[in-house]
Amino acid sequence: MPKASDQRSQLVLENFIGGKFVPCSRHIDSYDPSTGEVYCKVPDSGEDEVEAAVQAAKKAFPDWSSRSPAERGRVLNKLADLLEAHLEEFAQAESKDQGKTVAFARTVDIPRSVDNFRFFASSVLHHTTDCSQMDHMGCVNYTLRCPVGVAGLISPWNLPLYLLTWKIAPAVATGNTVVAKPSEMTSVTAWMMCKLMEEAGIPAGVVNMVFGTGPRAGSALVGHPDVPLVSFTGSTATAQLITEQSAPYCKKLSLELGGKNPALVFADADLDQCITTTVRSSFSNQGEICLCTSRIYVERSIYPEFLDRFVAAARKWKTGVPSDPDSNNGALISKEHLEKVRSFVALAKSEGATVHCGEGVDQLRLPEGNAGGYFMPATVLTGVADASRVMQEEIFGPVVCVSPFDGGEDEAVARGNGVRYGLAATVWSRDVGKVHRMARRLEAGLVWTNCWLVRDLNLPFGGMKSSGVGREGGRDSYHFFTEVKTITVKH
C-alpha cells in the first residue's frame, strides 16, 4: 500500500474528498497509547473541508443511487477482498493507533470490518417491498425504498474500523453517498482504507473521509443542511448535542450510545462457563467496548465462590505490550481517559469499596519503552452502593463492580434496570423459564443468556433509554438508510 507523507518520521494524514487526498492546513497530535508519544498528525478539519466533502457526495449521488444493488454489492465485495488481503497491515496499524492488542485487532476488528462489507453487499439483494390490492377501488398500492442522499457517519475510537465500516457498508449498499468522520484519536485505518477505494471501483465522491474533532468537523457535518441523515456511535452527551443541531432540519438519526451493562448470575449458573465468559465480557479491549459488562450481580448463596474464582481469573487476564501475543489487554486510548478511569477507582475506595485486584493492588511489569503508556490492569471492586457514581456512570475501562443479591428475580431485575442506560445485559442460569422471564423484563436492547457478544448481523442492534435511539442491523439498517415511498396506481 502507498505510504503516508513523512514529517519528522510521523504519519501525516490527509482528508479524502471526491476521490482525492486533500492536505489540511491544521493538524491534531495523535498518540501511540502504548508509549504515550505522538506518532501521527491528523487533519483538524472544519466547515470548509466538510462543505467540500458534502458537495462531492452530492455530485456523486445521482449516478451511485441509480446503480443496481448487485452492482453496488460487487464493489463492496471487492473492497472487502482488498481489506482482507491487507489484514495484517491493518491489524498492526489499528493496534498502534488505539492501544488494543494486535491479536484482538487481527481476530476481531479487521475481520469484522471485512464481514460488514460482505454482509451488506449480500443482504441488500434480498429485501422486498410491500404491495396491497384495493380491487373495490380499482387500485394497487406498492412501496419503494429510495436512498436518502448524503449520509453523515460519525464513528468512535474504541473499535475504529469495525464500527466505521458498520456504517459505511449499509449506507453505500443502499445507494447513499457518505461523508464520514472517524474519531480524531483513531483515524489511521480509515485513511488507509481510502487508499483502497479506487482499486475497489468506488466512484469518486461516494465515500468521503473528513478527519477532525467533534466540535469542529463533527458539528459542521451534523449541522449541514444537505446531510439529511446522521448515524452516530459515541457518548450520550454528544448525542444530545447532535439531536439539538439536527432538530431544525428534521434529520433521520441513529444514535448508538453508552452502556452500564449488568450481568445477573443465578445460583444454578454454570460457573465455569460463566466466569470465563464474564472475565472476557468485563475486560475485553481494555473494557473499551460499549457492550462490556460493568456490573455483576450474583445470587448470595454462590457469591463467595464466584468472587474468589472471578478475582483469580481477572488476575490472569494479562495487561501488557499490545504486540505481545500473551497480552489480553493493551493500553487505554489516552492519558486523559486513563486518569478518568482511575478516578472512578479512587472514588469507590473513598466510599468504602474494596479493590480486589488491578489498580493500586497489582503491579504492571512493562518494558522501559512502554513506561509512558496508558496501561491499567483488570480491576475488580466490591462494596460499591448501587447509588454510587461508580455504579451509575459509564467508566469505559477495565473496571467491574461485583455485588450480591439475596435471591429472587424481582430484585435482580430491579438492580439490573437501576441505571439510565439500557444497551446490553447478560443472564446466567440453567433454568430456561427464568432466562426467558429475565430477558423479557430487562430494559436492554440486547440480552445474552449464558453467552456474550454473539452477534447475528441480520438482527437489530441498539439500546433503550440513554443508550440510544434507533436500531441498525440487516433489515433495520436497510430501513434507516432508505426512505419508504407509497405509490398508488388506479387502473
Residue where the block lists cell 429485501: 127
| Long-range contacts of the stretch 456-464 (C-beta < 8 A, 24+) | 457/115, 457/116, 457/119, 457/123, 458/123, 461/256, 462/254, 462/256, 463/256, 463/257, 463/259, 463/421, 463/422, 463/423, 463/424, 464/422, 464/423
Concerning whether 274 is annotated as a catalytic residue, the answer is no
Concerning whether 409 is annotated as a catalytic residue, the answer is no
Three-state DSSP at 187 gives coil
Burial label, 39 (beta-carbon count in 10 A; 0-12, 13-18, 19+):
middle
Maximum separation of any 2 CA atoms in the chain, in Å: 82
- Cα 209 to Cα 50: distance, rounded to the nearest angstrom: 9
Residue 113: which H helix or E strand, with range? helix 110-123
The separation between CA 325 and the C-alpha centre of its own chain, rounded to angstroms, equals 24
- Cα 134 to Cα 489: distance, rounded to the nearest angstrom: 10
Q: Contact 151/227 with Cβ under 8 angstroms?
A: yes
Residue where the block lists cell 474533532: 213
Phi, psi (rounded to 5 degrees) for 409 = -65, -35
- Pick the catalytic residue: 14, 94, 256, 288? 256
- Cα 123 to Cα 163: distance, rounded to the nearest angstrom: 18
- Cα 416 to Cα 48: distance, rounded to the nearest angstrom: 46
- Pick the catalytic residue: 290, 292, 357, 401? 290
What is each CA distance from 326 to 103, 277, 318, 359, in whole angstroms? 9, 18, 7, 20
- Cα 290 to Cα 425: distance, rounded to the nearest angstrom: 11
Written as nine digits, the cell of 141 is 398500492
CA angle 400, 405, 407 (to 5 degrees): 140
What is each CA distance from 462 to 247, 423, 483, in whole angstroms? 21, 7, 20
Burial label, 130 (beta-carbon count in 10 A; 0-12, 13-18, 19+):
exposed
Smallest CA-to-CA distance from 320 within 331, 309, 310 is with 331
Active site residues: 256, 290
